[in-house]
Amino acid sequence: MTATLASVPTGTWTIGAPRLLAGLDRYAAIDHAAHLALHGPLPYPDRLRLTALLEDIALTGRGGAGFPFAAKLRAMPQGHGVVIVNGSESEPASFKDRTLLRRAPHLVLDGALAVAAAIGARQVTVAVHDQSAAVAVHRAIGERRDCGLVRVEQVHGTFVGGEARALWRGLHGGAAVPPGRRVHLTQHDTLLSNVETFAHIAVALRLGPRRFRESGTHAEPGTTLLTVGGAVERPGVVEVPLGTPLGIVLSAAGAAPPQAVVIGGYHGTWQRLRPDLQLSHATGLGAGVISVLDSSTCALGELARVAAWLAAQSTRRCGPCRFGLPALARDVAGIAAGNDEAAAFHHAQLVNGRGACHHPDGAVRFVMSGLHVLREETVRHRTAGGCGRPVRGQLAVPV
Amino acid sequence: MSRLEIDWTRCDGHGLCAELLPRQIARDEWGFPILARTVDDTRAARRAVALCPALALRLRPA
């Protein structure tokens, strides 16, 4: 199953000065000459300087897990490691990584090459799911002379397969499912991070720590990419300074007055709108997906649809996930049909924490936060047999 | 003290561990083990680890 959505928001816009998305208001895609004109040449710091820079700007991985990049770098051996750029972007409503790969691939390559040079890596692998992103990366590699170590691998876009350890197994000829035992990739001489993370490195190398810190917050400097969708007039990939209040992003997106907001994708959380919520990775931004549900849709029906999709994403290896997530999905559909929440709470507890990867935990977090936010809806569905609204699909589910 | 750990990718829910350690392991509605936090009888726990037909059970220092 591939994560392909019927409608793809390809627009980009920014709040504040763009860094990763610089030039995309003028160029459909930025070739190497335009890239150099926009950003200047790529500095190649040695390992110590690169580590110090990334520590100074407190850069964390932008795939959702948010691990400090400098710590990964420090754990790598010198001279024979492998750098993997994770472009599988398996979060269905996320488009930021493929947008970077399609339209600003040189920033991503720059970041990966600088890291690879600093640790003397023997290989750089760009793992891509999206076909046109793969084409764009190949084209970008052809435009420059410093990509001898770089290869592009097409990977399947399953939700769980995009998880770091699963991707790593898939690239090594195994099934793209997370291993049962704990695997630390750096122990296998592999430094893996998300596409956006490498683009930030490319920007930071040029700006230096002081200018990099002029945007964002003290704890989380710089910008972040978001994918804003659902009930908004201007869906798309958005670059904002970290710490930007959610209300500002939503009004810039032309959001309808929300019934609920889902932050962090389908392992993220449902929330009631708090316009002053400062967007930060510490508060569960995940891979940066923000989905708005307005009052025209049946929110419980939306929750049930995504719960069913999450159940279908189980790789079916771990029993509690294999049996528990479908049970939970049936419970949520039952709640939309007027049942109470008892069975869902019971099954959520049985699934949580009982698997080899974070899929069951993330799915439970999504469903439980949804049921919490939609308590009044649950009562309405139980007493009136429904809310009379259609399920509009404001939470996109792959076809 | 030790604690039991399950490799969920291996566990098939045979249920032998729950029979050998009834005070520490219950089974959910699908037959998969639900563990108590810590192990009081380490010897019995070791036996359960050794007898798990799927090699899915491990004993770890708490």
How does pLDDT run across B5-59, given as a tens digit for each residue?
999 999 999 999 999 999 999 999 999 999 987 788 889 999 999 999 999 999 9
Give the residue on B whose Cα is nearest the Cα of A356: B8
What is the interface pTM, i.e. ipTM, of the complex?
0.93
A325, with CB counted inside 10 A (0-12, 13-18, 19+), is buried
Domains of chain B in sequence order? 2-57 (3.30.70.20)
Give the pLDDT score at A2.
38
Q: Tell me how far the alpha carbon of residue A304 is from its chain's centroid.
A: 22
pLDDT per residue of chain A (399 residues) written in tens, 0 to 9: 334 443 445 689 999 999 999 999 999 999 999 999 999 999 999 999 999 999 999 999 998 888 999 999 999 999 999 999 999 888 888 999 999 999 999 999 999 999 999 999 999 999 999 999 999 999 999 999 999 999 999 887 777 767 777 877 888 777 777 776 666 777 789 999 999 999 999 999 999 999 999 999 999 999 999 999 999 999 999 999 999 999 999 999 999 899 999 999 999 999 999 999 999 998 889 889 999 999 999 999 999 999 999 999 998 999 999 999 999 999 999 999 999 999 999 999 999 999 988 899 999 999 999 999 999 999 999 999 899 999 999 999 987
Contacts of A356 in chain B (CB under 8 A): 7-9
Interchain contact A354–B (C-beta under 8 A): yes
Interchain contact B10–A (C-beta under 8 A): yes
A3, with CB counted inside 10 A (0-12, 13-18, 19+), is buried
Nearest beta carbon to residue A318 from set B8, B29, B34 = B8
Contacts of B32 in chain A (CB under 8 A): 319-320, 323, 354
Give the pLDDT score at A63.
87
Give the pLDDT score at A348.
97
Contacts of B12 in chain A (CB under 8 A): 319
Give the residue on B whose Cα is nearest the Cα of A354: B8
Give the pLDDT score at A301.
97
| CB pair distance less than 8 Å for A318 and B12 | no
The C-alpha atoms of residue A381 and residue A350 are separated, in whole angstroms, by 25
| CB pair distance less than 8 Å for B8 and A317 | yes
In CATH terms, A299-384 corresponds, of 2.60.40.2130, 3.50.50.60, 1.20.1440.230, 1.10.8.350, to: 1.20.1440.230
**Every domain range in chain A assigned CATH 3.40.50.11540:** 25-212
Can you name the residues that pair with B30 across neighbouring β-strands? none
Pick among B3, B4, B9 to test the A interface (most A CBs inside 10 A): B9
Nearest beta carbon to residue B7 from set A181, A320, A321 = A181
**Every domain range in chain A assigned CATH 1.20.1440.230:** 299-384
| CB pair distance less than 8 Å for B30 and A318 | no
For the range B31-39, what are the long-range contacts, defined as Cβ-Cβ under 8 Å and sequence gap of 24 or more? B31/A319, B32/A319, B32/A320, B32/A323, B32/A354, B33/B6, B33/B57, B34/A350, B35/B3, B35/B4, B35/B6, B37/B3, B38/B1, B38/B2, B38/B3, B38/B62, B39/B1, B39/B2, B39/B3, B39/B4
Give the pLDDT score at A173.
75
Chains A and B form CB pairs within 8 A to the count of 37
Interchain contact A321–B (C-beta under 8 A): yes
The CATH T-level fold of domain A25-212 is Rossmann fold (3.40.50)
Interchain contact B60–A (C-beta under 8 A): no
Interchain contact B61–A (C-beta under 8 A): no
* Residues A259, A260, A263: CA angle, nearest 5 degrees: 160
| CB pair distance less than 8 Å for A318 and B11 | yes
Q: Which two tokens stand for residue A63?
A: 């795939």
Q: Are A226 and A238 in contact (CB under 8 A)?
A: yes
| CB pair distance less than 8 Å for A320 and B8 | yes
Strand order in the sheet with A82-87: A150-154, A123-128, A82-87, A190-194
Pick among B3, B4, B7, B8 to test the A interface (most A CBs inside 10 A): B8
Give the pLDDT score at A5.
45
Give the residue on A whose Cα is nearest the Cα of B12: A319
Interchain contact B7–A (C-beta under 8 A): yes
